[in-house]
Amino acid sequence: MSHAQSVSIATDPPINLMGLDPVALAALMSEWGDKPFRGKQLSRWIHQRGVSNFQDMTDLALAFRERLTTRCEVACSSVLTRHVSRDLTHKWLFDVGAGNAVETVYIPEDDRGTLCISSQAGCAVACPFCSTGYQGFNRNLSVAEIIGQLWWARHDLTQSGAVTRLSQVDSESAPDQRIISNVVFMGMGEPLLNYDAVLGSLRLMLDDLAYGLSRRRVTISTSGVVPMMDRLGQDCPVALAVSLHAPNDALRDRLVPLNKKYPIAELLAACNRYLAHAPRDFITFEYIMLDSVNDELSHARELIDLAQQVPCKINLIPFNPFAQSGLKRSSANRVRAFSQCLQDAGIVTTVRKTRGDDIDAACGQLAGDIQDRTRAKQRRENGIIQSKLQDIPVVESRQ
């Protein structure tokens, strides 16, 4: 090896193995002239055992560990803050550089442990009821930054003893005793607008050499990026939740600006196409309950008409108010009446329990100390609010 080559190797940035699946790890090993099975060993050490120090990977040859230490790293974003709610919901704030941060939330329940992860720093969809939209869109997260949220959360929960509390419940009632049994892409960002990185992280979550999660236990929540829904159905179908939030186009144009590009009829058709590949036989429609906006019984009856077009269940979500939105939560009585109307029509309906609201970890609150970078409130008051649809790429469907 020449001196110039040795200097190049020494100064190249380390390869972050956090974002490489077993196939990519095996390919890297082959490039180095090592046996591909080393990739499987590394995947188990990193993702199953949560080890980031190569010197602790004791079944690897010492010379190989030294090479890894010189040329690679296993790194996730650094944690800025960690909060634990009175209901044992956990929230971590991850530093993703340039003044940006993303949040990850763990929700323990009797029969599962669900991790809610982020896919973007900020969000371009700009729904007025979601605090993340007021941050504006900053950038997509990498595979390592997405999967690193799962890697760190499992490590931190294990170290803190939360695994003991959950396992005691799981041993009695749950088929899956892992502390994190479910992952939902319901944190900051629109997952299908960061498609390649989300796809890469999904493959790691599902891989038996990494996290080994069931497709039924991983959920993508989308505001309705129709072409990418079609791609996901072909590439890596997992459970799908659709942020509907309104029963007609006029109202949904206001609440979910992406609707102007992909209106409800196109969205429902995409849902039915997706179900041909999905691990579940229904789509979850998420519907946030906003006082005097979308919570009238007339809205419920319109929603019934939509729900009868797609095998689905409807999840009604209590709104978590924040000052910038100018919106209010529907009353408990109105939510009950709305839910009963749907159930009377034979629509499977649930009302989401609010968790972690004392640490701002509840649905729609994931923005920390909200800074209205978009000046959306001012523009609404001036009557000139515009969505950021011009920032959302047009992608050809594979259908």
CB within 8 Å of 173: residues ≥ 6 apart: 110, 111
What are the E-state strand segments in 237-357? 239-243, 283-289, 312-318, 349-351
Burial (0-12, 13-18, 19+ Cβ within 10 Å), 381: exposed
Has 363 been annotated as catalytic? yes
Contact assessment for residue 280 and residue 320, using Cβ atoms and an 8 Å cutoff = no
Has 103 been annotated as catalytic? yes
Burial (0-12, 13-18, 19+ Cβ within 10 Å), 346: exposed
Contact assessment for residue 388 and residue 126, using Cβ atoms and an 8 Å cutoff = yes
Contact assessment for residue 295 and residue 312, using Cβ atoms and an 8 Å cutoff = no
CB within 8 Å of 276: residues ≥ 6 apart: 233
Contact assessment for residue 95 and residue 77, using Cβ atoms and an 8 Å cutoff = yes
**Token pair for residue 130?**
């979601």
Catalytic residue among 103, 145, 190, 286: 103
Q: C-alpha angle with apex 213: 78 to 209, nearest 5 degrees? A: 80
**Token pair for residue 67?**
């090479």
Catalytic residue among 123, 341, 363, 381: 363
* Tally of helices (H runs) and strands (E runs) in the chain: 13, 14
Q: What Cα–Cα distance (Å) separates residue 160 from each residue in 23, 75, 129?
A: 32, 20, 34
Which residues are known to be catalytic? 103, 363
